[in-house]
């Protein structure tokens, strides 16, 4: 398992922040160092840290007659020195998210959670999912949950793209389904960052449209398909002006 430990340092400390202004604090505090080098210093009051440094460029610590920690980012520095040490430890940690099922790894019985994708709390298994995807109770033959994703149609595919590919499903449904509005070519389903409908004559024709999260519900006046999305109906071409000709707003005087 990858090292995603949270380091915890506790004791009677002097905390000094240097940057635009210099501040100094003294008290029994607990310092938390996250895997991304974010440093948070907490006392007993409220939820907000006494001092913090987000995603420091460097964090160094030493244990001699207590402990010291120095975190730096650009012109900011956070220094912590313990006069009396209560604790110095590291604990394993993962992303916390909504439980969506059980890990399908043969050597793991952990829980899958959704947080910036889907990951297991007990092992390194991680699956990238579209932000608009809905995780279903339905299971793939591999044991993982399936997800529902709208890209022209509603597709139900496995979380693991190596098992069931969303790209392949969308390609089978819509590859060459629409003509290019700027040449005599056809639109291919391609992945360029996200899924797009791009002209087959690229680079001679650079026409390309990001596939929206929605289902095809007809044809726009420009000839391209229109999609029903969470924000209403829209053309495949997000910049299409003719898509608004049938809208209620367009009919107003």
Residues 50, 28 contacting (CB under 8 angstroms): no
pLDDT for res 94: 85
Average pLDDT value for residue range 90-109: 87
- Alpha-carbon distance values, 136 to 12, 88, 109, 245 (Å): 49, 42, 19, 37
pLDDT in tens, 160-170: 999 999 999 99
pLDDT for res 106: 78
Q: What is the DSSP string of 216-246?
A: EEEE-TTSSEEEEETTEEEESSTT-SGGGTT
pLDDT in tens, 191-250: 988 899 999 999 999 999 999 999 999 999 999 999 999 999 999 999 998 665 555 444
pLDDT for res 252: 45
Q: Quick one: which of 119, 116, 112, 110 has its CA closest to 133? A: 116
Average pLDDT value for residue range 45-73: 91
CATH fold label, 5-92: Protein Yojf; Chain: A; (2.70.180)
Task: Please name the residue that has the structure tokens 């506790």.
Answer: 10
Distance (Å, whole) CA 33 – CA 52: 10
Residues 110, 119 contacting (CB under 8 angstroms): no
Q: 122-129: long-range contacts at Cβ-Cβ below 8 A with a sequence spacing of 24 or more?
A: 122/1, 123/1, 124/1, 124/2, 127/159, 127/160, 127/161, 128/161, 129/159
Per-residue pLDDT for 3 more than 70? Answer: no
Average pLDDT value for residue range 92-121: 89
Residue 99 corresponds to which tokens in the numbers above?
């439980």
Per-residue pLDDT for 25 more than 60? Answer: yes
pLDDT for res 245: 57
What is the pTM assigned to this prediction?
A: 0.72
Domain ranges of the chain: 5-92, 98-167, 172-251
């Amino acid at each position: 398992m990858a090292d995603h430990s949270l380091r915890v340092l506790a004791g009677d400390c002097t905390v000094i922040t240097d940057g635009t202004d210099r501040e100094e604090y003294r008290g029994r505090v607990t310092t938390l160092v996250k895997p991304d080098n974010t440093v948070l210093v907490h006392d007993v009051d409220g939820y907000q840290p006494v001092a913090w440094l987000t995603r420091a460029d460097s964090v160094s610590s030493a244990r001699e007659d207590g402990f010291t920690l120095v975190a730096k980012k650009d012109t900011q520095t956070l220094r912590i020195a313990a006069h009396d040490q209560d604790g110095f430890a590291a604990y394993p940690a993962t992303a916390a998210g909504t439980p969506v099922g059980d890990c399908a790894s043969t050597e793991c019985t952990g829980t899958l959670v959704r947080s910036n994708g889907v990951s297991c709390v007990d092992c390194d298994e991680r699956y990238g999912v579209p932000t608009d995807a809905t995780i279903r109770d339905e299971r793939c033959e591999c044991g993982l949950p399936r997800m529902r994703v709208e890209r022209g149609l509603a597709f139900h595919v496995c979380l693991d793209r190596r098992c069931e590919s969303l790209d392949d499903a969308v390609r089978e449904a819509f590859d060459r389904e629409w003509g290019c509005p700027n040449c005599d070519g056809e639109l291919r389903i391609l992945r360029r960052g996200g899924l797009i409908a791009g002209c087959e004559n690229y680079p001679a024709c650079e026409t390309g449209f990001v596939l929206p999260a929605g289902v095809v519900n007809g044809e726009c006046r420009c000839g391209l398909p229109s999609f029903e999305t969470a924000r209403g109906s829209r053309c495949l071409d997000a910049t299409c002006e003719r898509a608004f000709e049938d809208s209620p707003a367009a009919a107003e005087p």
